């Protein structure tokens, strides 16, 4: 009986060791954004994200997941504005980023996890749009915005299978997005919901 118990312990120990030393797994992710800018006159704008990830187990309880993600975000502006003889309506700011989140994931159960970590962004493109006296005007304003952005993310996820899962994440900007700050302390905010597929 002692030999059988010892053998069972050795098998379980081997299985636990194998689980905690699994190598990194690569994957992809995609979903929707509900983003905004922390200005009093802004409201949410819908966009999307898509990218690649690597999930690295560091123990049974924790994983590290760096990602490289293209993210289309921004904000809409509430109300209309009068500038002399011009009436500006339906103002909208679109921002295209390459974001690099580095999430630390806590496996609360084999299927459910919590996550938190920093996100670093590089602005690729910025476009302002509005209707001026009935005509739609679009213009790049990338030069007026910061190229680099830093945020903090927190989220949760659920694994339906070993490969397929769902993820929800909120990212709060920590750095101002406007250059030459004239009292404008606007920062990005973004709520994401999407699917992940681990190879």
* 162: three-class secondary structure by DSSP: coil
Say what the pLDDT of residue 125 is.
98
Residue with tokens 């009986």: 1
Q: What is the mean pLDDT of residues 124-141?
A: 90
- Classify residue 2: in a domain, yes or no: no
- Classify residue 14: in a domain, yes or no: no
Structure tokens at 131: 């209707």
Q: What is the mean pLDDT of residues 134-141?
A: 88
Structure tokens at 22: 């699994």
Query: What is the span of the domain harbouring residue 139?
Result: 24-198
Residue 57: beta bridge partners?
63
Q: What is the CA radius of gyration of the chain?
A: 22
Q: How many domains does the chain have?
A: 1
Helix ranges restricted to H, the chain: 2-20
- Classify residue 164: in a domain, yes or no: yes
- Classify residue 29: in a domain, yes or no: yes
8 A C-beta contact, residue 95 and residue 73: yes
CA distances from 111 to 150, 191, 198 (A): 29, 22, 13
Residue with tokens 């915005």: 145
Residues 5-60 have pLDDT tens digits of: 445 444 444 444 444 457 999 999 999 999 999 976 789 999 999 999 999 999 99
- Classify residue 167: in a domain, yes or no: yes
Residues 94-106 have pLDDT tens digits of: 999 999 999 999 9
Say what the pLDDT of residue 20 is.
47
How far is the C-alpha of 87 from the C-alpha of 15, rounded, in Å? 68
More confident position, 5 or 163: 163
CATH code of the domain covering residue 172: 2.40.160.20
This prediction's pTM: 0.84
- Classify residue 17: in a domain, yes or no: no
More confident position, 194 or 21: 194
- Classify residue 7: in a domain, yes or no: no
- Classify residue 54: in a domain, yes or no: yes
Residue with tokens 């390459």: 98
Is pLDDT of 135 > 60? Answer: yes
């Amino acid at each position: 009986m002692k030999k059988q118990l010892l053998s069972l312990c050795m098998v379980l120990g081997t299985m636990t060791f194998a689980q905690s030393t699994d190598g990194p797994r690569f994957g992809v992710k995609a979903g929707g954004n509900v983003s905004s800018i922390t200005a009093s006159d802004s409201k949410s704008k819908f966009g999307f994200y898509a990218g690649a990830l690597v999930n690295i187990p560091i123990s049974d309880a924790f994983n590290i997941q760096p990602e490289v993600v293209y993210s289309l975000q921004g904000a809409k502006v509430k109300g209309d504005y009068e500038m002399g003889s011009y009436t500006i309506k339906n103002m909208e700011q679109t921002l295209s980023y390459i974001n690099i989140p580095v999430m630390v994931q806590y496996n609360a159960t084999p299927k459910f996890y919590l996550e938190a970590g920093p996100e670093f962004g590089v602005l690729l493109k910025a476009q302002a749009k509005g209707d001026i006296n009935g005509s739609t005007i679009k213009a790049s304003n990338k030069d007026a915005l910061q190229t680099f952005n830093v945020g903090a993310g927190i989220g949760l996820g659920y694994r339906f299978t070993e490969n397929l899962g769902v993820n929800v994440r909120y990212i709060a900007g920590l750095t101002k997005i406007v250059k030459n700050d004239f009292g404008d302390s606007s920062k990005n905010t973004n709520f994401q919901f999407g699917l992940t597929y681990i190879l």
